[in-house]
Structure 1
Amino acid sequence: MKPVRIVIFAKAPQPGVAKTRLIPALGAQGAADLARCMLLRTLHEAVAAGVGPVELCVTPSSAAPIWQTLGVPEAVQWSDQAEGDLGKRLAVAAQRVLENGESVLLIGTDCPELGTACLQQAARDLQRTDTTLFPTFDGGYALLGLNLFHCSLFEGIAWSTNTVAFETRYRIGQLGWTLQNHPMLHDIDEPSDLKWLPKSWLEMTGA
């Protein structure tokens, strides 16, 4: 059985950079504060899942001072995102992990519903299927788990649209790979998504 590595993709939670679509509702600082809360929550859930190494794949570089101020758990490993669009960055990380003999769970920090239980379930899925997917209501996905790599899962995808999960599932089928698909979860990207957050998180942002 291959070890499972969780790779978390994250932008630095800085005002005007993180969660920009939430700025009209929360302000630049409030959106950044929420991004920081979601990032740290994702990290702690990933470590608590106990399925294997947890890697934080960041932009800007992990050498940037912002990353030293967040209280990232010591167990977390660091890497820098590749250049290019989201597909290229995901592909580079996935290929690196898989070529190292590990399975990979690719996740972001935008889905508070993607907790320890989901991560543990995804790791179990990869013991018996080629891929696993936790789609989101906006048409994207919160988690893509892989035992195999193919560039078609990441090239020519219209990222940040409502076709991402559908297109990913279609391409997995075209490859003849097995897939465990899960019920949809809620991402927090737009002001209308804020209703899915715990009230205490919104109070923290001053909303």
Structure 2
Amino acid sequence: MASTSKKRKISEENRSFQEKLTEQYLCIQSGGKALCLVCQETISVLKEYNIKRHYITKHKKYENMTGEARKEKISFLQKSLKGQQSVFAKKVKEYDASLKTSFLISQILAKRLKPYSDGEVVKECLCVASDNMFPDKKKLVESISLSRYTVARRIESLSGNIESTMAKRVSAFSSYTVTLDESCDITDRRPLQ
């Protein structure tokens, strides 16, 4: 006879990180998992046993550190971790700004019916302006991708987004009307009656 019991999953156990673990084992909670402040390894299961085992096997030298010295070390490790994380956050923020700028310039080129290769001219102008006005941001301006192929991809992406948005909105309509205008094209010929 087969067992009908359901296997317990760790995510269903609703474990919470206890603040005492930071002082005892030099760990903090990051992204739903325990993160060692010393070696910056994640500990897969948020159990005190797993955190303690990691601490004892890898960081036993910190056992003798107590009181104010231990609190200062924890504070120092947390500050250095935040400093490392902020470097990555800054790079991501700069990349997002560069990508958004590329889309906005591509959108302007499309609205004005300009050739895609004009993106390269716009980038050259931006580089000259940044070099003279704010040289500390020159690398950020140079990271904007505006080649004709990139501009074409950006415009395709924007048009695809508009098309899917319109399709979603139209599907929610209860009714709608279609208005057609007479063609003014010279090739439009009506049959004789």
TM-score by length of 1: 0.19
Max radius of gyration: which structure?
2
TM-score by length of 2: 0.20
Higher percent of residues as helix:
2
Q: Which has the higher contact order (CA 8 A, sep 6+)?
A: 1
